[in-house]
Chain A
Amino acid sequence: MIVARDVVKRFGDFTALDGVSIEVPAGALTALLGPSGSGKSTLLRVIAGLERPDSGTVEIDGRDATRLAPQKRGVGFVFQHYAAFKHMTVRDNVAFGLTVQKRPKAEVRARVEELLALVQLRAFGDRYPAQLSGGQRQRMALARALAVEPSVLLLDEPFGALDARVRKSLRQWLRHLHDEVHVTTVFVTHDQEEAMEVADEIVVMNDGRIEQVGAPRELYEEPRTEFVMTFVGAVTKVGDAYVRPHDLEFTSEPNGSTEEVQVRRIVHLGFEVRIELERVDGEELVAQLSRAEADELDLSPGDILWVRPTKERIFR
């Protein structure tokens, strides 16, 4: 379990963390989600001991770690750009933490083989990082971090430097790996889809503060702030109210609570259909329908119809 209390970190005039407090439950996979500059990476680095907070405390497994050097925290850290030891083979990279601890050679060898199998790099042990693909390098970095059996695994935008396809498959793989290894894991991402897909719990950050903490579904359905509503999941505006694009209902006749809109454009995205609409006052909104629903309405650009949010939120 990781507990951070009232953590403040400034870089010159810039306040990266403005009194952040979180609790990360043991064994869970938690995502720190936010746009760049929101302080999520800084928080992760404070937990790892790579940055020292100006004030506030960090506890790891009940032990005050605020002043502890990174070497003594028992954390595994995975960097966005892999931080592979370029002059060492994959095997030596993975073995690094164990050889630092001067474990017996036979034990190191056995553990390294076990980890290489876990990250599916068994055949690549004698290669150098430069001979691996980005995804392979990141799996190597993960094995290296896991080798020392950290009590906490921290990943800083682990898939950020990979292309979309590899990123998707590595996400699922990370989730499966976590279900196998069960180490308390925190990962930083700016991609809400990634956070939703992988994490048990998401911490949404903005401007050095925490906006909301919750399970993916909770954040999507019960956002507590305007920022969470707009950052997690698609959103459209009807007047002052925020509405998920699939929470719009269409009628062909006006009734008291509907608004008149004109269809601007219809975009077919496979299963779903996105309809771009314009209100009488010129404001634009977007609706999302399943293909069956869209077929039933049989819309074409220029059509006039009436729309009503079935679920809306107003933030003040």
Chain B
Amino acid sequence: MKYALRFVALGYLAAVLVGPVGLVFYRAFEHGFDTFWSAVTTPEALHALWLTVLIAAIAVPLNTIFGILCALVIVRHRFRGVGILNAVVDLPLALSPIVVGLSLLLLYGREGWFGEVLAERGIQVIFSLPGMILATIFVSLPFVVREVVPVLREIGTDQEQAAATLGAGSLQTFRRITFPAIRWAVAYGVVLTSARALGEYGAVTVVSGRIVGETQTMTIHVEERFQSFDLVGAYAASVVLAMLAIGVLLLMTLFKPKEETR
């Protein structure tokens, strides 16, 4: 029975997760490392990689900071509308990324609400970097909030109040008491946010215009290579994407301090 259970669990993972991903790795290196290397070092691929990392590097810190703030408001503040705020945070999880992309088009596109005002000032949001960043922020917003909220609820306010009676101001209390208590939730939220930001395709593709070498992220690059029958290029870029995600996970485990693993 014990083995049967294990077999089912591992078999399921192997069939739906490890198998397909492993196959991508296999295909990428099928023709040797040199082929792989030249596929991922084409100017387009490098630019796509750079763009993906850049977008994540902007979206993830912003969503981390505002995610923590949102979580604090949701848990610690009492006013009408907290429930709505709490629900709105989940919106990106429920909405299809395509809808997110379209909504940004409606808002910032040439015919959109802000489109004209922005165009007059020479700011182009759609079919350029700002729109892609906005789309990425939108879709990766809930993760830090969702990880931090339950932990904040669980730790309660006793420790913060104790710090206050000991003379600590609110910033000091946050830095020395609240943040250390939620840091693992934050870290996990950052991992999820990063994974989502790196892997986002739908919303970004709508607002990017998919201009090769300009507004092509890794995911769009993979799709474009695939459509152009450059399978090695597609697989190789996929492997790079996967490595990025694994890298983020590894960084988190590395930073884990010893007291927590005790």
Q: Which residues of A contact B (CB under 8 A)?
A: 48-50, 69-71, 73, 75-77, 79, 81-87, 96-97, 100-101, 128, 141, 144-145, 147-148
Shortest distance from the beta carbon of A51 to any chain B beta carbon, whole Å: 10
- Does B167 lie at the interface of the complex (its beta carbon under 8 Å from any beta carbon of A)? yes
Cross-chain contact A50 with B181 (CB below 8 angstroms): no
Q: A49-B164, A79-B161, A101-B167 are in contact. List 13 more A-B contacts (CB 8 A).
A: A50-B165, A70-B161, A71-B164, A71-B167, A75-B165, A83-B158, A83-B161, A85-B177, A86-B181, A87-B181, A87-B259, A96-B168, A97-B168
Contact of B163 among A69, A76, A96 (CB under 8 A): A96
- In the docked arrangement, what's the CA distance between A83 and B200, Å? 42
Contact of A128 among B158, B172, B259 (CB under 8 A): B259
Contact of A100 among B158, B167, B259 (CB under 8 A): B167
Cross-chain contact B161 with A77 (CB below 8 angstroms): yes
Cross-chain contact A71 with B168 (CB below 8 angstroms): yes
Cross-chain contact B172 with A100 (CB below 8 angstroms): yes
Cross-chain contact B159 with A83 (CB below 8 angstroms): yes
Given contacts A96-B168, A148-B166, is CB(A87)–CB(B180) below 8 Å?
A: yes
Shortest distance from the beta carbon of B79 to any chain A beta carbon, whole Å: 14
With both beta carbons as reference points, the residue of chain A lying nearest to B172 in the complex is identified as A100
> What total of chain B residues lie within 8 Å of the partner, measured CB to CB?
17
Neighbouring A residues of B167 by C-beta, 8 Å = 71, 97, 100-101, 148
Contact of A85 among B159, B164, B165, B259 (CB under 8 A): B159
Total residue contacts A-B, CB cutoff 8 A? 64
* 8 interchain residue pairs of minimum CB distance: A97-B166, A83-B158, A83-B162, A77-B165, A87-B180, A70-B164, A100-B167, A100-B168
- In the docked arrangement, what's the CA distance between A100 and B158, Å? 18
- Does B169 lie at the interface of the complex (its beta carbon under 8 Å from any beta carbon of A)? yes
With both beta carbons as reference points, the residue of chain B lying nearest to A147 in the complex is identified as B166
Shortest distance from the beta carbon of A102 to any chain B beta carbon, whole Å: 10
Cross-chain contact A77 with B162 (CB below 8 angstroms): yes
Shortest distance from the beta carbon of B23 to any chain A beta carbon, whole Å: 43
